[in-house]
A and B are shown apart, each in its own frame.
Chain A
Amino acid sequence: MSAQPIISFQNVSKRFGKTTAVDDVSLTIHEGEFFSLLGPSGCGKTTLLRMLAGFEMPTEGHILIDGKDVSLTPPNQRPVNMVFQSYAVFPHMTVLDNVAYGLKMDGVGASERRDRAEEALGLVQLAGFGARKPDQLSGGQRQRVALARALVKKPRVLLLDEPLSALDAKLRDAMRSELTSLQQKVGITFIMVTHDQDEALAMATRCAVMNRGLLQQVATPSDLYEFPNSRFVADFIGSVNMFEGTLDVDEPDHAIVNTTEAGPVYLDHGVTGATGTTVWAAVRPEKIEMHKRTETPPQNLPPKVDDAPEGYNVIAGVVKHMVYLGSETNYEVEIAGGKLIKVVRPNLTRWDQEDFELGEQVWVSFHACSPAVLLS
């Protein structure tokens, strides 16, 4: 990473009348990143992107590109280009004219324009499509035209507004890996807006999660998933089992959260929170193990968990729902009090798998390192 960030938002706010779309966001993005703005619809992520492109002006704060304040610079004078959600391919121009449009605006000569546009079309695997009209292309091809049109200007930053939302599932998967490899090939910083957490985790090198105009967390995809900093992030990224409780013990080497629903939860690390406050223990479904339950519970349960003292992190329950998905099976286990716990078990073998049936009595357990403790 270079010393100077390529993009820097400094306390940026945007208000439309009385509603605050973006609330005091400060964020830096560095050269070569594939950065993703993630959040539910209406969280302000698109407004943030549009302010970077120049279609909206921030009400407060500054936006810097390469250290230069561009907060009030019109879009046609910014070194960024955008791929729009609707692709916005000009319908009355040929594919080649579409791609060459930005160069024409820059005053590039006709022959160079043509060569560079052809080259950009080759980059997105549309070589030979130059003479076609956009209505002779499929949705995926139109998106490639939009990509080529933005990349041909060699922008400092490429902005992508929900790039995959309009594609069908199969094409979406193919485009995911294609976009990441394209980004590595051209070496341009990409900033992508998406509401799809899978998309963000799969493609981005770093993500910012937004909610109600506020930046919730900025981290790498794996950090977002494993170390969420709030209930919102834990819940928004992937699925999670959340247990509300009070922080009873907080020592450097262990902590205990006394939850109402799942009993005491033991952690093998300290939590930097005040004891006695309300916290939430969040456990991902794939980090929960399930065991058959007999009349008398065996002494050494859970067998694999030897790091939590006996009596912690083991809950009795009954299998309520099962969804077989081929590679894995999703269970929902009802525990005392009626809460349903989500459990994901990979189907590791073709047979001899320990099978569970609906209504079966089970123990669910998790390691002392599995829960993430959330203070807010």
Chain B
Amino acid sequence: MTSTTAAKVRKIPPGPLEYLRRWPLQAWLVLVGIFLYAPLVSLMAFSFNDSKRNIVWQGFTLKYYVKALNNDSLITAFGNSMTIALCSTVISVVIGAMAAIVLWRFRFVGKTAFNAGLAIPIVVPEICMGVGMLVFFAKVLPWPHNLPWPLDLGNIIIAHVSFSFPFVAVVVRARLASFNRELEEAAKDLGASEFRALMDVVVPHIQPSLIAGGLLAFTLSLDDFVITFFTAGPDTITFPVKVYSMVRFSVTPEVNAASTILIVITVLLTFLALKFQGSGALTAGHGADDK
């Protein structure tokens, strides 16, 4: 018979879900962390390296940041990337949300085919999309040169929309699955037209997914290299393409510095979006603690 005091000091073995109390799993966690983040951390660290070759650590400096910010073509490329990302995100969110609502709301001939067709840009290899876009803009819809900014980016924006709006549609569709159809009916019952009901009830419900989908579309567009490389004309260049051309000569800390700026921007945007989405989900969800 165990006494009660003995029971108190007894060491309880880790439960089935207490991963962090088992050392092999802790070690695994550390390994995964290194695998995921070591390249990024070293990239950021070497952006402060006071060395032209950027192979051995020579000392701390910020001069490559100054150099990167003074590199006009790099800044232009960065501006182009941001413009393309913003435009394609807005268009993708609108088209993607509309596609999701159509698939959720209606039954129509060819719905299965449409659903499958939406998934194609997600699964088709980027290189194929890129070549396809190249042929498309060469033969079917030749994009004129020497257009004023930002019209010269139009073909790249179209290309980016075509591969990022299905992602938005998938995210929005998932959110719509949890929508209570009675809410829409209630709005109509109270006098709202189809469109008012959509804007007043459905859109607020899918708002977090619009933000999440938009964020996805933005990052997809911002870091796309392959499709942009095939689509862009000789005059337009985006940030990833520019970095690629810089790397072809040598991996200078300037490239690291520019990349670090990009990482910081995307991480900040992600953080903001998640925070926004979190607060939205809180008011729309349960959270009835203060009853």
Contact = CB atoms under 8 A, between A and B. Distances in A.
A76 B189 contact: yes
Contacts of B192: 76, 101, 105
Nearest to B201: A90
Interface stretch (B62-70, B179-187, B224-232, B239-247): B179-187
Interface in B170-214: 180, 182-183, 185-193, 196, 200-201, 204-205
A198 to B, nearest CB: 25
B284 interface: yes
A344 B284 CA distance: 50
A106 B191 contact: yes
Interface in A81-104: 81-82, 84-86, 88, 90-92, 101-102
A74 interface: yes
Contacts of A113: none
B259 to A, nearest CB: 39
A210 to B, nearest CB: 21
Contacts of B287: 135
B117 to A, nearest CB: 27
B283 A88 contact: no
B204 A81 contact: no
Contact of A81 (B189, B193, B205, B288): B189
A92 B189 CA distance: 18
Contacts of B286: 135
A206 interface: no
Contacts of B193: 76
Given A105-B191, A105-B192, A91 B284 contact: yes
A84 B186 contact: yes
A283 interface: no
Interface string A41-60: 00000000000011100000
A84 B185 contact: yes
A136 B190 contact: no
A365 B247 CA distance: 102
Nearest to A105: B191
B139 interface: no
Contact of A149 (B188, B190, B196, B291): B190
A138 interface: yes
Contacts of B284: 91-92
A153 interface: yes
Interface in A321-340: none
Contact of B191 (A76, A85, A91): A76
A213 B243 CA distance: 70
A153 B191 contact: yes
Given A76-B188, A105-B190, A88 B196 contact: no
Contacts of A90: 183, 186-187, 200-201, 204
Contacts of B39: none
B33 interface: no
Contacts of A86: 180, 182
Interface string B147-184: 00000000000000000000000000000000010110
B290 interface: yes
B273 to A, nearest CB: 19
A75 interface: yes
Contacts of A116: none
A323 B186 CA distance: 45
A133 interface: yes
Contact of A135 (B185, B186, B205, B283): B283
B62 to A, nearest CB: 46
Contacts of A75: 185, 188-189
Contacts of B183: 88, 90-91
A198 B285 CA distance: 34
Contacts of A137: 288, 291
Contacts of B201: 90
A257 B19 CA distance: 75
Contacts of B205: 91-92
Contacts of B200: 90, 101
A88 B193 CA distance: 17
B283 A105 contact: no
A101 B180 contact: no
B204 A92 contact: yes
Given A91-B205, A101-B187, 4 more contacts: A88-B182, A90-B200, A90-B204, A102-B190
27 contacts: A53-B185, A53-B189, A54-B188, A55-B185, A75-B185, A80-B189, A81-B189, A82-B189, A84-B185, A86-B180, A88-B185, A90-B183, A90-B187, A90-B201, A91-B183, A91-B205, A91-B283, A92-B204, A101-B187, A101-B200, A106-B191, A135-B283, A135-B287, A135-B288, A136-B290, A138-B291, A146-B186
Nearest first, the 9 closest Cβ-Cβ pairs linking A and B are: A105-B191, A102-B190, A88-B186, A88-B182, A92-B204, A84-B182, A75-B188, A76-B191, A88-B183
